[in-house]
Amino acid sequence: MKNLNNMMESENILEDYVVPYKDQEIDSKIEEIQQSQLSDEIDLDTLKTIFSCIDLTTLKETDSADSVKAFVEKVNGFKEKFPNIPNVGGVCVYPVFSPVLKQYLKAEGVKRAVVSGGFPASQTFLDLKVLETKKAVDFGANEVDVVISVGEFLEGNYEFVYEEIRQLKEASKDAHLKVILETGSLIEPELIWNASIIAMDAGADFIKTSTGKSGKAASLTAAYVMCQAIKAYHEKQKRKVGFKPAGGIAETRDALKYYAVVKDILGEEWLNNNLFRIGASRLANNLLTEILSLEGDSFDKVEYY
């Protein structure tokens, strides 16, 4: 990983990465992926894999220590109720509830994730973003989701964005840092590519499409560009960075489309919850309903979460 001075005083990091696609081809490439990877018959094992990659999230103004504890207890009790289905990949809450996750989340393999850094707008002082992240990790979070300073990025202040991510990665210590690009506000594929490369080079362990709070949802275009950037970064740096589409992904068929993009571009080795996550909580119930239906256990709508 390059430090800020190396990045900005020598060649620009973006010049090291040649875009491997033409913008006008993206839609047709996505369509080719869907046709080659998806079939009319839904595969049960694929649905279970996607379920295991869900970040189960509660980010409401009405959240409290008691409500988060109750939320966590559902995750803890999941395997007893659904023994043939893998548990979710993580539980994501506001940073103030890090101690609740640390104390009560007992489900094996489920990560303790928090949002941080002035989520969701990222409009606060960097020292406060760093402090919030440090406190969240000190209180037990092992994954931290932060948002880039979108306005600064759109103004071309890439050094500013890079340095923020670098400091937040440093503050997160051994916890995984998931950097949200808020791709719905970036619009152009070139900007999504640039944000992806900058975030990864600054230390992101995951890059994520959206907060789900801005009204601008994830898109397959953003997923395609981000996965291509992850592939290019891995080929050059030999470091695997995870990918998380989030925001507006609630239906099983939509989740399968994102799964197909990851599988086609990054391959099977990315299709696990160490390198692939997907949001959000509405998707969990829909997937559960589909899985149980395919297994012949239920034909009713499941409302577990």
Catalytic residues: 145, 208, 244
Rounded Cα distance, 246 and 208, in Å: 7
Closest to 263 (Cα-Cα) out of 215, 227, 220, 217 = 227
Rounded Cα distance, 287 and 185, in Å: 28
Ramachandran angles phi, psi of 263, nearest 5°: -60, -45
